[in-house]
Structure 1
Amino acid sequence: MSGEPAHARGSSSEIKLRIASAVVLGALAIFVTWTGGILFAGLWCIAGAMALVEWLKVAGAGGLGWKIAGVAFAATVAVAPIVVRMDPLLGLQGILWLFAVVWGTDIMAFVVGRTLGGPKLWVRISPKKTWSGFIGGLLGGSIGGFLVTAAAGLPNLFLPTLLALLLSVSVHAGDLLESAVKRRFHVKDSGQLIPGHGGVMDRLDGFAVAAFLACAIGAARAGWEQVAQGFLMW
């Protein structure tokens, strides 16, 4: 029998499960994004529907204001990626850029937060989150956005990277917002669908906020038919 403490073994197993789930989901998301079309749209519509079911399970008892918020969240999950992917010139790059920003934020926040620890970000809302993780997440999201922008061969790298930094902040904000909702209704996870991660809401809270902001900025600059060009080309 190993001399490693039981809680340490459990923690190690949980991290391995999180990594395995993230790899599988990431590969699936990239494949479907690359394929595009009905498969891509269908997957995100299903994700939106599942997010709504989870939201209503968590906060449905909170009254009409909470139900409306759930519908808005689910609609963003379903519609925003489809709108970005439909851009005829940079749809694929736009989605990959969003993935890079969100995943870079999440991964670096987790790694740096666990490694360095330090002062807590907002104990009352999310006791495990630290300022070091927050800053690490900003760095990861910015680098992720920069790499995709550079790979796409776009002429202006600075402004999309600056936008990636802003969206990285929004990823943290979305995560904290969902944590606040779960704490308000005394729920630990929105579901158990994804091993090591919880439910669809738990995985897409930050992505939904970032995608909404990207779509709003892209549409304001280039119109709804060229959303990805609007937030990637400056």
Structure 2
Amino acid sequence: MSSAAKANWSDLSIRIASAVVMAGLALATAWAGGILFVAFWLLAAAAVLCEWLFLTMAGRRDWPVAGLGVALLAAATMLVYGGRGGAALLVLAAGAAALAGLGRLRGAPQPWLVAAGLPYAACVVLPVTLLRLDDPHGMRAVFVLFAIVWGSDVLAYFTGRTLGGPKLWPRVSPKKTWSGFIGGTLFAALAAGLVGGSLVLVALGAILAAVSQGGDLLESALKRRFDAKDASQLIPGHGGVMDRLDGFLAAALAALLIGLAHAGLNPAQGFIVW
């Protein structure tokens, strides 16, 4: 085996091992529910926010800005967990304005991008929390969401690498291909139908897979804007937490909105019961 092939296999092995650990933690906390689940996703959201701020603060680790952002994110999350979603939205709106002001004082090149990190990170924790809290359908809704996002991510990666072909959006993400997009979308649709037990979820799975890959492209555009390859090097083989959850947060938000539109204040039921 050539040295290049060995290096590729080593990178893939690290990537798989990291993915297994992360998936195991996500599944275990989703099964447990409650404050353990919320704490897991709040920690992930806080990491995403810190990575976003590192990019938008011109590569500086500005702890006063990060500390304020994480405190606001935690406050909004606890309000949602306590059933006060309206108050959480007010905290996020006022908090984004406060982050923009502090970012300007601390010399951020574009303070509005600093402010955007708070609602972006909130999409990591708040939609999935609202879905999981909606018993008795919450756990199954989260598992369906995992099946869509993970299925899309894994099959897009392997289909794209195997088949290649025309690039999806080369200016933003040079490695992503149309074959990967289509393969990931089709597999995610099947996975959603199998896990959720509904033909409607096959269609929703395809839609959310496309949304998930769109979230991935959005984060790629942000990194390209700031000339960064990865959001951080926190996860071996994967880069940063934001690099792993860019698609998930977009799909989770879309699933929540679908659930709310279909069943009002029972978003998990509205997402998976048809």
Which amino acid in structure 1 is aligned with residue 237 of structure 2? G
2 CA distance for matches of 1:217 and 1:62? 36
Matches within 5 A, 1:1-234: 4-60=1-57, 61-150=108-197, 157-224=198-265, 226-234=266-274
1: CA distance, partners of 2:46 / 2:195: 29
Identity %: 50
Higher relative contact order (CA 8 A, sep 6+): 1
Matched with 2:87 is: none
Matched letter for residue 268 of structure 2: A
Q: Distance in 1 between matches of 2:261 and 2:109?
A: 34
Name the CA distance, whole Å, in 1 between partners of 2:44 and 2:18.
Answer: 16
Q: Give deviations 1:196-233, integer Å, cap 9, x for gaps.
A: 00111001000000000111111122123x11111111
- Per mean C-alpha deviation after superposition, the further-off stretch among 202-211 and 57-66 is 57-66
Q: How far does residue 166 in structure 1 lie from its aligned partner after superposition? A: 0.4
Cα offset, 1:12, TM superposition: 1.2
Q: Structure 1 residue 62: deviation in Å? A: 4.2
Q: CA RMSD, aligned part only?
A: 1.1
Contact 1:189 1:198 in 2 (8 A): yes
Using structure 2 for the length normalisation, give the TM-score.
0.80
Aligned amino acid, residue 139 of structure 2 = L
Question: Secondary structure of 2:174's partner?
Answer: strand
For 1:199 and 1:101, the matched residues in 2 are separated by 21
TM-score by length of 1: 0.93
The CA deviation string for residues 139-189 of structure 1, in whole angstroms up to 9 with x for no partner, is: 121111111112xxxxxx222211111000001100001000000000000
| SS of equivalent to 1:27 | helix
State the 4+ residue runs in structure 1 displaced beyond 4 angstroms.
Answer: none
Q: After TM superposition, give the deviation of residue 106 of structure 1 in Å.
A: 0.3
Q: Which consecutive residues of structure 1, in runs of 5 or more, have no partner in the other structure?
A: 151-156
For residues 55-81 of structure 1, give each alpha carbon's deviation from its aligned partner in whole angstroms, at most 9, with x where no partner exists: 000123442221222111111112111
SS at match of 1:52: helix
| Larger CA deviation: 199-208 vs 115-124 | 115-124
> Is the Cα–Cα contact under 8 Å of residues 107 and 140 in structure 1 kept in the other structure?
no
Q: Return the alpha-carbon distance in structure 1 between the equivalents of residues 206 and 115 of structure 2.
A: 29
> Cα deviations across residues 57-111 of structure 1 (Å, max 9, x unaligned)?
0123442221222111111112111100001121000000000000000010011
The number of residues matched between the two structures is 224
3-state DSSP of counterpart to 2:229: coil
Contact (CA 8 Å) 1:120, 1:127: kept in 2 or not?
yes
